[in-house]
Amino acid sequence: MDFLQQNLIYTIPALGLVGILVMLFKSAWVSKQDAGDATMQELAGYIADGAMAFLKAEWRVLSIFVVITAALLAYSGSITEIKGIAMHSSWIISISFIIGAVLSATAGYIGMRAATKANVRTTHAARTSLKKALKVSFTGGTVMGLGVAGLAILGLGSLFIIFLKVFNVVTVDSSEMRTAIEVLTGFSLGAESIALFARVGGGIYTKAADVGADLVGKVEAGIPEDDVRNPATIADNVGDNVGDVAGMGADLFGSYVATILATMVLGQEVVLKSADKFGGMSPILLPMVICGLGILFSIVGTLFVTIKDENSSVQNALNLGNWSSILITAIACYFIVTWMLPDTLVLRGYEFSSINVYYAILVGLVVGTIMSVVTEYFTAMGKGPVNSIIQQSSTGHATNIIAGLAVGMKSTVIPILVLAGGIMASYHFAGLYGVAIAAAGMMATTAMQLAIDAFGPIADNAGGIAEMSQLPPEVRERTDNLDAVGNTTAATGKGFAIASAALTSLALFAAFVGIAGISSIDIYKAPVLAGLFVGGMIPFIFSALCIQAVGKAAMDMVQEVRRQFRDIPGIMEYKAKPEYDKCVAISTKASIREMMMPGAIALITPIIIGFIFGPEVLGGLLAGVTVTGVLMGIFQSNAGGAWDNAKKSFEQGVMINGEMHYKKSEPHKASVTGDTVGDPFKDTSGPSMNILIKLMSIVSLVIAPYIAVKSDVKVEGVKIKTEIVSPNSTAKTIIIKKQVVASKVEVGSAKID
């Protein structure tokens, strides 16, 4: 035990390495599975090549952004003082940023490679049994989950160790420690920046292809969704990988890192009433330890994901694995927290105990679980919300749209109440540190959450390959079974991501307030209230740009598909092969072009507001972005998921007013319209909301030292300007060059008698 105490910091990256090693083992297993006949392999090759072409094009553009941003960070990090206030940063923050960006892109690449290998192998496995198909598709998803979590813990843990050495950190409350953690924020900034572009770009790609393929293929030509004759079908399947896999991988990599980092920033401020076993570093190390061990608990959870036969519930198998990993985490965290933390801790005057920190972690796990359950209810086939959309499809396209919008809006109520309750409960137990550690507890099982999430697009691709290869109907039935569950797991994954983003953003917000040297955000002040309104508007314009981009790219896709049907004779008779690459190129160019403006809004807005209006107005902006961003994220993701599963319900047949309706019926056509409207909601703008609010918070945290306020000290009516050397200091002693005797000293809005 003494050895572990002395070397705990080194076990953190080791846990990440374990995750990567298990990932490599599972990836090798997937590669060994049978990839099917030559036709299946050819189609899978088109999908893999298209996905790789997109990533290369995206990386070329993002590499320019990374180089420019790194140069700006290096310059800002070299500034040692602004208006007499010491800066706790270094040019090394640019290196940290580059590493975060590279690992975020790598996380997406690992997921995409795993998915493009697992899809065709899942199709072939579905020729044998549903059990085998589930094993292959879920193992492919596990590769992504473990890769993302392993890279995050390995990268963050290793950099922290290096920065402690580079900056000669001796004590936790030293300026050197502040510098080390400030430089580490660059890692999170790099990860979230790439995540935003990957998520928005991938979302535009996948939905442009999907909408274009649906409008011409299904609606106009009357051919199945994944028919090999549809020129856009390869681009559609590529989109599942670059959007729902590579984009989601980068997304949760960024969330994972941001959550841990926010807790570390607040942990550095925590005052211990008695010594711990780690030189006072236990509140800083705790989130990394919990998330590192969460990788192991997720690996255990994956062992429970299996079914017995064709009649078994795939959803129940996934739920069992998920709940198992959560339960193990909940039990293990008690021993971790009580071993690492001393009995009593204080953060910004709020005193709490180690057991209360554990209770806060439980709150985070409960919030994450409830969010998943509620999201599943609002988006799953056979449940009331989806059935209500089905029933209203009988009266046409308009009523289907009305029903879907209503479901999405109603779905925000319970999650917001749960989040509000979670924030209040975790704060009650352990103050702001409790809110941050609750988010870390929720994110501990990220590897498992991602495995479940990535399973969906793998199953979707498997069904597409089965359709294009014209395999027997029972194969498509098995892949459709997996795909329907995958739609729900994708929605629950997005619900989980937005919940973690809300808690993480609050923790980042608290860290920003401390570093910026402000004690509160007073919305009674007109500039702050204006910032609040502007912040509330940003998720709307961000969503509008994303949805508009999908619409533009989809129109280009529609024109191209129509051209090929018109100009290439023999496509409909299977005598000529469509030009799949033309459609892939359209989606690639459109997504790269259209992702720039939404990304610029998220990155530049906090910088402009912060430097022109100051940290308090920027705080109002962040509050507005967080509130409306969370609401928009939940609404759009759930509405889109419900529309999608309403459409899929017609494939098995639905009862409306005592009459059965199937595919190609009038109610089904109405449901296709709803699904088309919901596509950019659930796969482009909706899931991008969590990255938007986190990225703006992280940008604000990075610039906080440069916009930190000076305090106004009033002594018996005489106003004296003093400089805050340590903006987040809680010390009550004020040193002034001239000796002043006063009965009352006022510092900003704080009075000291």
What is the residue type of 78?
Answer: S
User: Could you tell me if residue 321 is inside a domain?
Assistant: yes
The answer to whether residues 190 and 313 belong to one domain is yes
Q: β-strand 659-661 against 350-353: which pairing, if any?
A: unpaired
The answer to whether residues 316 and 364 belong to one domain is yes
Q: 3-state DSSP call for residue 169?
A: coil
The answer to whether residues 680 and 724 belong to one domain is no
Q: What is the pLDDT of residue 243?
A: 79
User: Could you tell me if residue 471 is inside a domain?
Assistant: yes
The answer to whether residues 503 and 363 belong to one domain is yes
**Residue ranges in the chain modelled with pLDDT below 70:** 1-6, 80-88, 225, 710-753
The answer to whether residues 433 and 468 belong to one domain is yes
User: Could you tell me if residue 229 is inside a domain?
Assistant: yes
The answer to whether residues 126 and 266 belong to one domain is yes
Residues 43, 468: contact at Cβ < 8 Å? yes
Q: Whose structure tokens read 């942990």?
A: 267
| DSSP category for residue 153 | H
Residues 203, 687: contact at Cβ < 8 Å? yes
User: Could you tell me if residue 7 is inside a domain?
Assistant: no
Distances (CA, A) of 162 to 237, 434, 702: 42, 27, 20
Q: In terms of Cα–Cα distance, which of 178, 353, 188, 341 is closest to 269?
A: 178
Q: What is the pLDDT of residue 200?
A: 86
- At 70, which helix (H) or strand (E)? helix 38-77
Q: What is the pLDDT of residue 355?
A: 95
The answer to whether residues 732 and 721 belong to one domain is yes
Burial classification of residue 529, based on how many CB atoms lie within 10 Å of its CB (0-12 exposed, 13-18 middle, 19 or more buried) = middle
Residue 95 in tokens? 């290196």
Q: What is the mean pLDDT of the chain?
A: 85
| Residue 751 lies in domain | 710-753
Q: 3-state DSSP call for residue 13?
A: helix
Residues 697, 630: contact at Cβ < 8 Å? no
User: Could you tell me if residue 231 is inside a domain?
Assistant: yes
Number of separate domains in the chain: 2
Q: 3-state DSSP call for residue 293?
A: helix
User: Could you tell me if residue 123 is inside a domain?
Assistant: yes
The answer to whether residues 459 and 577 belong to one domain is yes
Task: Name, in order, each residue with C-beta under 8 angstroms of 72's C-beta and a sequence gap of 6 or more.
Answer: none
Distances (CA, A) of 367 to 327, 363, 399: 13, 6, 33
φ/ψ of residue 9, rounded to 5: -60, -30
The answer to whether residues 338 and 277 belong to one domain is yes
Report DSSP letters for 428-481, one per residue: HHHHHHHHHHHHHHHHTTHHHHHHHHHHHHHHHHHHHHHHHTT--HHHHHHHHH
The angle formed by the CA atoms of residues 156, 159 and 163, to the nearest 5 degrees, is 135
Distances (CA, A) of 497 to 278, 650, 660, 690: 32, 29, 37, 7
Q: What is the pLDDT of residue 5?
A: 63
CA 62 to CA 382: how far, in whole Å?
42
CA 77 to CA 723: how far, in whole Å?
20
Q: What is the pLDDT of residue 297?
A: 95
- Dihedral (CA of 681, 479, 205, 213) sign: negative
The answer to whether residues 738 and 687 belong to one domain is no
Q: What is the pLDDT of residue 56?
A: 87
φ/ψ of residue 344, rounded to 5: -130, 135
Buried b (16+ CB within 10 A) or exposed e, 330-340: bebbeebbebb
Residues 322, 448: contact at Cβ < 8 Å? yes
Neighbours of 746 (CB within 10 A): 15
The answer to whether residues 187 and 158 belong to one domain is yes
DSSP-assigned beta bridge partners for residue 353: 344
The answer to whether residues 406 and 499 belong to one domain is yes
Burial classification of residue 716, based on how many CB atoms lie within 10 Å of its CB (0-12 exposed, 13-18 middle, 19 or more buried) = exposed
Give, to the nearest 10 degrees, the angle between helix 248-269 and helix 473-516. Answer: 30
φ/ψ of residue 351, rounded to 5: -95, 135
Q: In terms of Cα–Cα distance, which of 322, 723, 248 is closest to 498?
A: 248
Neighbours of 29 (CB within 10 A): 15
Which segments of 80-221 does DSSP mark as H helices, in order? 93-126, 130-166, 175-213
Q: What is the pLDDT of residue 650?
A: 87
Residues 385, 377: contact at Cβ < 8 Å? yes
Residues 436-479: pLDDT tens digits?
A: 999 999 889 889 988 988 888 898 889 888 888 888 888 888 88
Distances (CA, A) of 749 to 349, 513, 614: 16, 14, 16
Residues 255, 504: contact at Cβ < 8 Å? yes
User: Could you tell me if residue 20 is inside a domain?
Assistant: no
R_g of the chain, CA atoms, integer Å: 26
CA 273 to CA 64: how far, in whole Å?
48
User: Could you tell me if residue 207 is inside a domain?
Assistant: yes
Q: What is the pLDDT of residue 578?
A: 86
Residue 177 in tokens? 């420690």
